[in-house]
Amino acid sequence: MYAVEYQKAKSAADASGLIAKSGGRALAGGQSLIGAMKLRLAQPGTLVDLAGIPELAGIRVESGTLSIGAMTRHADVAGSADVKRTIPALAALAEGIGDRQVRNMGTIGGSLANNDPAADWPAAVLALGATVITHQRRIGASDFFKGMYETALAADEIITAVSFPVPRKAAYVKFPNPASRFALVGVFVAQLADGSARVAVTGAAPSVFRAASVEAALAKAFTPDAAKAAHVDAAGLSSDLHASAAYRAHLIPVIAARAVAAA
Amino acid sequence: MGIAISMTVNGAAVSAEIDPRTLLVDFLRVNLGLTGTHVGCDTAQCGACTIHLDGRAVKSCNVLALQANGARVTTIEGLAGSGELHPMQAAFKECHGLQCGFCTPGMVMSAIDLVQRHPNADEATIRAQLEGNLCRCTGYHNIVKAVQQGAAAMSR
Amino acid sequence: MGANESGYIGQSLRRKEDRRFLTGAGQYTDDVTLPHQTHAYFLRSPHAHARIRSIDTSKAAKAPGVVAIYTGADLEGVGGLPCGWLITSVDGTPMKEPPHPVLAKGKVRHVGDQVALVVAETRIQAKDAAELIEVDYDVLPAVTHPVDALAPGAPQIHDEAPGNHCYTWALGDKAAVDAAFAKAAHVTKLDLVNNRLIPNAIEPRAAVASHSASDDSYTLYVTSQNPHVERLLMAAFVLGLPEHKLRVIAPDVGGGFGSKIYLYAEETALVWASKRVGRPIKWVAERSESFLTDAHGRDHVTHAELALDKDGKFLAMRVNTTAAMGAYLSTFASCIPTILYATLLAGQYTTPAIHCEVKAAFTNTAPVDAYRGAGRPEATYVVERIVRQAGVEMGIAQDEIRRRNFIRSFPYQTPVALTYDTGNYDATLDGANELADVKGFAARKAEAAKRGKLRGLGYSSYIEACGLAPSNIAGALGARAGLFEAGQVRVNPTGSVTVFTGSHSHGQGHETTFAQIVATRLGIPVDNVDVVHGDTGRIAFGMGTYGSRSLAVGGTAIVKALDKIVGKGKKIAAHLLEAAESDIEFADGKFTVAGTDRSKTFGEIALTAYVPHNYPLDKLEPGLDETAFYDPTNFTYPAGTHICEVEIDPDTGVVQVVKFSACDDFGNIVNPMIVEGQVHGGLTQGIGQALLEGCIYDRESGQLLTGSYMDYAMPRADDVPSYQVSTRVTPCTVNPLGTKGCGEAGAIGSPPALINAVLDALAPAGVTKLDMPATPHRVWQAIQSAKAAS
């Protein structure tokens, strides 16, 4: 790790100011950022620690939405009775992130700001049409994810919470990379309150995306067979050591079908 | 460049001035001489460095010491009270859940956290919940047995 | 040891060493901190193959905390790292042994090749400074695959090895094989790849070297499986130091699996530099460095053919293998795909004629050397894959084709140089069939099919040669070292015992097993016995731990030392009891005059030996401390049958090992709990190879693509099942313990069992060819290809 300065923020606005002033980066749980710094792949001159900021904490259920504070750890989402009651798919997703030790440190806000192409949270946010709330504004899911490790966030913008509309039903199934256990293909399916079907895929492309053909199939019938029969084109999908684009294209409807069955 | 830090480690208050880039595992091993916590990888996957931070298992190689400022840390050295092994440690010995011993401290710390969250875990749950700890010696067979036995002992 | 002296033998004693490991009190190399210690970081090549035009360390030398920087040019007079086994090519020429410099000289030959050593006050400062070293590389084309490396026009890695050719070696009677093939009723042909593996002991390699100005001596703490061999090679062959001026300590070592047998550049450079720096130096590998520089395993490409008569009797086998050596010859690299491979191609079968030719190639990769099993897994994989295929082709059941060819008469001379002393292969096959509930398989397969899953069953009846090794035979085959073991039994005046062994325990539990042997023989409580290992300063000599040799060879050395202790004890007892020495019997911790109740306890004899007031000083030295060296007369031959049952999801290609059964014959067993643990671990490494693990270098750039746990799939707890294991016993006739060795069997037997099971499951889908590892992607592709072909 390269040398780094460390500051602790008192509020989201304070954090934003410290980042703007130092040109540094926000430190949430650090489960991706510290790893990248250890390998000398990231070199923020300053880390602004968001831990302990009250406005970033807490899980709230309000008229048809579930709001999760940005610094909520994955393990706490997984264990939350409110989450299990309103959108159990999110608790299950959180329980499958990384491993237990990572879930005890990693946060939803950190994961979304990082936007790893194989992260799990982006699939939930995109499929459910969630709103990412920052200390300055509200960003719709469809506007938030911009590409590999890229989001709509400004450099000094701090996510404070994510607001999920409660769907009729939803589920996430991850097909893991055998080595990293990140999603080789992760599919979040949802039938929203208005009855529409949404399918978001992570791990398969440079950034999370909606699988239009699977959505179209599920719009006709929200059944595993319908999902499985959908065709996904391999063009634009990732190809690497662990999976060709064709294999990922094949897996998406298969995994979507399993998610529909679990929803 | 030094920043003051203080925390409770295995029940004792400690404080120091550290380089901000100091990882918690290095603080424990180098500053405090608690070498029972091991480093087996650089991508936070092997879990040999697992300790408890405010009662929860975390990978101390992937946490800055400063993130533990003011916290309560327990390492493998802090488990056995006056000479008596913690039930999970005893179960690992009884079930031959360790061979070279290198992954063992992290495995035991992880197993205790696992049992606290899943007191009645079946074999499949235990295996899934051990995802964050690699062992190259035991093939996990006896570790799974040890966690089951340790869980039973911890509930008594 | 007589069969009636059971004592602690055969008991699953809980391990003496566990308490320190469970409480964080273990002392691994990285836990060693010496006063005024400095820290090392190695600058490594980012290129697979390049000429070094220049190295400029001037900026780095001025960086904060830097104590010294060394490059290859500084190591004038330092030798290269040696290879311990000479293989002679079929044309009579010796293998090519190009230099293996401690720090690169003129050229780098694999990604990770060490270019400079930076010594600084802290590890971070050393790493920061290394980034300031400017190396001007002239990047050259690279070759990473052994077959590519031997092809005409391949990039030339060493001037000393034209065409990257290290040797072409052969074993067996080619004419007899050709004749047998000519009259065969059936010939089965198979092409396969034995995938390259990265050992991944969870403790990375590490070293702490120091020099003492007071007597010009060195002390090296190092992650080693064999500290005496390390000392011999480093002192005599590389640094030119007097051997007695170098003490090598291998303290607690966090797993080895072969990768910590070898003399590596890093610890050698540290010892050399410690005197120049005048302070201790510590180096600990980052995991990324382990991936790049630990000696890898396997990496064979093989074509095999099996000739059978009309009844499925094996007539002959023909094997051609190309093996990668990597960029340099590691310590035992050359003997792995030859002596430890081709000699095992008879397997458990009476195949009368076998011929094997092996071509070894240099490649722009990390060196390849022994990894758990070492040559024997590769041989077993060839034999058990082709036996399966022959059975399928000829319509003979998998257990039946094996039974038709089992060796049943011992001793048995194979056509590939070994003489099996004993075994009962029907017994272990029967045992495995029972464990695996083979009778119920058809019903399980049908039930799985209802769920849309494909079930398969795979056999592997393996044999290995362990207990390395008779030194004279090894010497005739090219070994440049002896392969005996040393043991010392020191009886302390109060009757407690300290055992010094040349074997090294890095997970095997010697502190318990060896104590069980000693306590049983001497009739004393096992808690009164401590076992010391891993220190050239305390132990007479040792060849270390590898090849499942510790109990069979190291344990026997201790038994021989115990013989001497008991022999001397009888002399002392005879004196005290005023009886003839020949009338003294020793049992249950008592020296007794035969046929009387007159006796002396072991403790009384021990005290007398050290307080020799009433003692035959004119005939006998005081003290009770004996050393023995044991050189075995033959290898030992553990064998068994493994049966794997898999369930495959054809939609995703995911292979789940639903059941794994292993019935092994390890000869006599001292501690069944420890033996089972060794089997579990070995099975998981074998399943890892077959299901998950594979080291991949980019074929063009030579970059390691599987350079971290993000891309190299290690077996985790939920990748493997709980195992069904059992043993059958034919006592080994070679050593007095009757023991054969158990450390590698799991890794040897399991890969073909798993792949055979996968092929069995995929047979209905038309799949006939599959290489390891059977990843979901690869299995899915195999299913798609079969679909497209049909």
Strands B50-53 and B56-59: antiparallel
Backbone angles phi, psi at C303, to 5 degrees: -115, 130
Option in C651, C709, C777 nearest A242 (CB): C777
pLDDT in tens, C147-194: 999 999 999 999 999 999 999 999 999 999 999 999 999 999 999 999
Among chain B, residues having any CB pair with chain A shorter than 8 Å are 1, 3, 19-21, 23, 42-45, 47, 50, 53, 56-59, 61-64, 66-67, 110, 113-114, 117, 129, 131-133
How many Å apart are CA C745 and CA C738, to the nearest integer?
17
What type of residue sits at position B115?
V
| Inter-helix orientation angle C672-691/B141-155, to 10° | 120
How many Å apart are CA A181 and CA C539, to the nearest integer?
45
Considering the domain delimited by B87-155, tell me its CATH architecture. Orthogonal Bundle (1.10)
How many Å apart are CA C587 and CA C24, to the nearest integer?
39
Those residues whose C-beta lies under 8 Å from the C-beta of residue B2, and which sit 6 or more positions away, are B17, B18, B19
Those residues whose C-beta lies under 8 Å from the C-beta of residue A9, and which sit 6 or more positions away, are A15, A18, A48, A49, A50, A53
pLDDT in tens, C104-122: 999 999 999 999 999 999 9
Task: Pick the closest to residue C485 from C665, C228, C676 (CA basis).
Answer: C228
Per-residue confidence (pLDDT) for residue C3, from 0 to 100: 34
Domain boundary among C630, C662, C678: C630
- Three-state SS for C369? coil
> To which residue do tokens 């069979």 refer?
C552
pLDDT in tens, C344-396: 999 999 999 999 999 999 999 999 999 999 999 999 999 999 999 999 999 99
Whether residues C37 and C77 fall in one domain: yes
- Residue C330 is assigned to a structural domain of this protein: no
Whether residues C731 and C765 fall in one domain: yes
Above 60 in pLDDT, residue C484? yes
Query: Are the folds of A5-48 and A55-165 the same?
Result: no
How many Å apart are CA C439 and CA B152, to the nearest integer?
35
> To which residue do tokens 């170098």 refer?
C246
In A, minimum Cα distance to B115 occurs at A100
Above 50 in pLDDT, residue C514? yes
Looking at chain C, the number of H-run helices and the number of E-run strands are 19, 28
pLDDT in tens, A12-24: 999 999 999 999 9
Those residues whose C-beta lies under 8 Å from the C-beta of residue C788, and which sit 6 or more positions away, are none
Return the C-alpha torsion angle B143, B61, C296, C270, nearest 10.
Answer: -120
Strands C114-120 and C38-44: antiparallel
Average pLDDT over residues C236-245: 96
Q: Does C542 touch chain B (CB under 8 A)?
A: no
Per-residue confidence (pLDDT) for residue B83, from 0 to 100: 82
How many Å apart are CA C555 and CA B4, to the nearest integer?
54
* Residues above pLDDT 70, as percent of chain C: 99
Task: Give residue limits of the domains in chain B.
Answer: 3-77, 87-155
Q: What's the CATH number for A169-262?
A: 3.30.390.50
- Three-state SS for A145? strand
| DSSP states of C434-496 | HHTTGGGHHHHHHHHHHTT-EEEEEEEEEE--BS---HHHHHHTTBSS---EEEEEEE-TTS-
* Residues above pLDDT 90, as percent of chain A: 100
Above 90 in pLDDT, residue B82? no
Domains in chain C, number: 3
pLDDT in tens, C22-74: 999 999 999 999 999 999 999 999 999 999 999 999 999 999 999 999 999 99
How many Å apart are CA C377 and CA C386, to the nearest integer?
14
* Omega cis (within 30) before C469: yes
Whether residues C427 and C379 fall in one domain: yes
Question: Strands across the sheet with C590-593, in order?
Answer: C584-587, C590-593, C599-601
CA distance C679 to chain B (A): 8
How many Å apart are CA C289 and CA C265, to the nearest integer?
13
Whether residues C522 and C404 fall in one domain: no
Task: Pick the closest to residue A3 from C122, C195, C725, C539 (CA basis).
Answer: C122
CATH number for the domain spanning C401: value is 3.30.365.10
Structural domain containing residue C709:
372-468+635-789
Whether residues C488 and C615 fall in one domain: yes
- Residue C313 is assigned to a structural domain of this protein: no
CA distance A106 to chain C (A): 18
CA distance B58 to chain A (A): 4
Tokens read off for C692: 């998950």
Whether residues C573 and C644 fall in one domain: no
Option in C203, C257, C509 nearest B40 (CB): C203
- Residue C394 is assigned to a structural domain of this protein: yes
Option in C706, C713, C777 nearest A244 (CB): C777
Q: How many CA atoms lie within 13 Å of C774's alpha carbon, on the beta-carbon side?
A: 33
Considering the domain delimited by A55-165, tell me its CATH architecture. 2-Layer Sandwich (3.30)
Considering the entire predicted model, what is its pTM? Answer: 0.97
Considering the domain delimited by A5-48, tell me its CATH architecture. 2-Layer Sandwich (3.30)
Those residues whose C-beta lies under 8 Å from the C-beta of residue C477, and which sit 6 or more positions away, are C335, C339
Per-residue confidence (pLDDT) for residue B1, from 0 to 100: 56
Backbone angles phi, psi at A92, to 5 degrees: -65, -40
Q: Are A29 and A72 contacting, i.e. CB atoms less than 8 angstroms apart?
A: no
pLDDT in tens, C687-718: 999 999 999 999 999 999 999 999 999 999 99
Question: Strands across the sheet with C639-649, in order?
Answer: C454-463, C639-649, C654-665, C724-727
Whether residues C67 and C213 fall in one domain: yes
Whether residues C614 and C549 fall in one domain: yes
- Residue C779 is assigned to a structural domain of this protein: yes
Whether residues C85 and C233 fall in one domain: yes
CATH number for the domain spanning C241: value is 3.90.1170.50
CA distance B150 to chain A (A): 18
Q: Are C131 and A1 contacting, i.e. CB atoms less than 8 angstroms apart?
A: no
Whether residues C65 and C87 fall in one domain: yes
Mutation target vs A (from C777, C778, C779, C783; most A CBs, 10 A cutoff): C777
Number of Cβ atoms within 10 Å of the Cβ of C77 = 7
Considering the domain delimited by B3-77, tell me its CATH architecture. Roll (3.10)
Per-residue confidence (pLDDT) for residue C269, from 0 to 100: 98
